[in-house]
Structure 1
Amino acid sequence: MSSSNAPASGRDPVPNRIHARPVPRPGRLVAAAVVLVLAAMVANALITNDNFRWDIVWLYLRDVVVLRGVLWTLILTFASMAIAVALAVTLAMMRRSDNPVMRWVSWVYIWFFRGTPIYTQLIFWGLIAVLYPRLSLGIPFGPEFFTFRTDDVITAFWAALLGLALNEAAYLAEIVRAGLTSVDPGQTEAAKALGMKDGKIMRRVVLPQAMRVIVPPTGNETISMLKTTSLVVAVPFTLELTYATSAIGNRNFLPIPLLVIAALWYLLITSILMVGQHYLEQYYGRGFGTVTRRRSGGKGPGGGRQGAIAAAGTVRQDVNREVTP
């Protein structure tokens, strides 16, 4: 005889169970269909249009002049960003300084370089030898110790590099300052209570936490710098990618396929930079809502701060295991 507690055959054992069904959303299907149709139209317009001259695109895509332009573009991008980051950290710390002179100098620098167009700045850097034919080191309004010609020191490459780096530092300084401000002041106070020096506090406590805020916009600025290098023709610096492809297009009277080549190379480099930015954000975002897997062979993910603590292996996987009945 079956138990009296067993449910009747064919009946739901849970009384008044709610059988929920997803709300129909026909608008999503319509929107997806419209987007797919538009994407197909764009693809058709690109592939079937003979004016793009895809044969010429493939022919010059690996041309030595184009590859040299890619190399110089990468050099300008990463070198200018390295200088800009170092200068931006200095400017951000000056903005936070108790010294009014430091704060004023930093503010004026950021105000000037953010307030004038980068193209105008590059033109002035290209004309630096006209403005100052000779440069010297010495005492202001006093004797000069070293004198040299500006053309011999600031070539077109260095003018382009300095112009890009000094302009970018003004934007990065505000990003770094925002990141430093995002760190709880209690972190600094606790570190001082332990006897740590200001420099060590900045390196070991503040900056590692601020990087979570600094990295995403800095990655965007790096991608923007990659494309801003196309403006160094104002110096003029004629070895970067845009000028190199434009020169080839002007010589063979086929500007469109050469511009497509430049666009393809920029897209490829930007895609690689975006992947790098993604992993950097994951690295510096550990413990702040990102998903982290346990190192000890765990099969389940742990999220946020608790996931990061579990992944560190410094606590038991189940801290209540010994006291929970």
Structure 2
Amino acid sequence: MNYVLEVLPSLLDGAKMTLQIFCWTLIGSLPLGLIVGLALISRFRLLKAILRFYVWLMRGTPLLLQLIFVFYGLPLVGLTLGRFDAALFAFILNYTAYFAEIFRGGLQSIDKGQYESAKVLRLTYWQTIRKIVTPQVVKIVLPSIGNEVINLVKDSSLVYVIGIGDLLRAGNVATSRDVTLVPLVMVGVVYLVMTAVLTFILRKLEQYYSYWK
């Protein structure tokens, strides 16, 4: 127990970095995913083609490879980012693509008659999206969004490859230094706690939106 208490502060510091990456990625990728999702069902063919290529590229290559490319590859073309900024850039690009596909599916599931009804009521396109379409889409896509949110918690451990002191890196350092697996067990427990809290929040959100049948 003394050893656990000795290692715990460094793990909690790493967990703070993990939570920062998690929160900023969600803040950046969710609204961008909705915008890209709307663009994917728009009438602008060139824009749709470009965004489809982007989504295909982000979903078809590993996040780890994208992270390495952003941090080590972009400086070759004169764009240098700090470790934290590079991690956020790669994560937001990756998760925006996944969220865009989720939102696209949700938007296309809305009956076209609702758009026509909104026109009869003289609602603008954005009023229709905000007041009629979005509440229904949120209910439809929430389970899929929840799965990606849980995955994001675990994917955040990939930032160790560019030297960011996240939770997993703190556990690896303690394991190598003290030649024991206890820190990694503690890392697993912390991840389980974070995912349990997120699962609880997501279930509450699903219950909140369940009144739309």
Q: TM-score, normalised by structure 1?
A: 0.63
Q: Residue type matched to 1:71 in 2?
A: K
Corresponding position of 1:287: 212
Root-mean-square deviation over aligned CA pairs:
1.4
1:18-37 to structure 2, matched below 5 A, reads none
Corresponding position of 1:229: 156
Corresponding position of 2:53: 108
Q: Residue type matched to 1:237 in 2?
A: G
Deviations 1:279-298 (A, max 9, x none): 1111112132xxxxxxxxxx
Corresponding position of 1:92: 37
Q: CA deviation at 1:56?
A: 6.3
Corresponding position of 2:170: 244
Q: 2:92 aligns with which of 165, 189, 193?
A: 165
Corresponding position of 1:194: 121
Give, in whole Å, the separation in 2 of the partners of 1:162 and 1:229.
13
Give, in whole Å, the separation in 1 of the partners of 2:193 and 2:2.
19
Q: Residue type matched to 1:101 in 2?
A: L
Which is richer in helix?
A: 2
Q: CA deviation at 1:185?
A: 1.4
Check the 8 A contact 2:136/2:212 in 1, yes or no. no
Q: Residue type matched to 1:90 in 2?
A: I
Q: Residue type matched to 1:241 in 2?
A: L
Q: CA deviation at 1:104?
A: 0.8
Give, in whole Å, the separation in 2 of the partners of 1:174 and 1:116.
16
Give, in whole Å, the separation in 1 of the partners of 2:108 and 2:3.
48
Q: CA deviation at 1:85?
A: 0.9
Give 3-state SS (helix, strand or coil) of 2:211's partner. coil
Q: CA deviation at 1:178?
A: 1.1
Give, in whole Å, the separation in 2 of the partners of 1:168 and 1:279.
23
Corresponding position of 1:258: 183
Q: 1:184 aligns with which of 111, 114, 119?
A: 111
Give, in whole Å, the separation in 1 of the partners of 2:44 and 2:212.
35
Q: CA deviation at 1:59?
A: 2.6
Give, in whole Å, the separation in 2 of the partners of 1:114 and 1:131.
24
Q: 2:200 aligns with which of 260, 269, 275?
A: 275
Q: CA deviation at 1:126?
A: 1.6
Q: Residue type matched to 1:59 in 2?
A: L
Give, in whole Å, the separation in 2 of the partners of 1:67 and 1:125.
27
Compared with structure 1, are the counterparts of its residues 264 and 56 closer, same or farther at alpha carbon in structure 2 (3 Å cutoff)?
farther
Deviations 1:248-290 (A, max 9, x none): 1111111x111101000000010000000001111112132xx
Q: 2:72 aligns with which of 123, 127, 133?
A: 127
Of structures 1 and 2, the larger Rg is shown by: 1
Give, in whole Å, the separation in 2 of the partners of 1:56 and 1:125.
41
Q: CA deviation at 1:60?
A: 4.3
Percent identity between the aligned chains? 32
Deviations 1:157-193 (A, max 9, x none): 0101111111111111111011111222111110111
Deviations 1:188-220 (A, max 9, x none): 110111111101111111011111111111111
Aligned positions, number: 213
Compared with structure 1, are the counterparts of its residues 129 and 104 closer, same or farther at alpha carbon in structure 2 (3 Å cutoff)?
closer
Check the 8 A contact 1:70/1:240 in 2, yes or no. yes
Structure 2: unaligned runs, 5 residues or longer: none
Check the 8 A contact 1:97/1:103 in 2, yes or no. yes
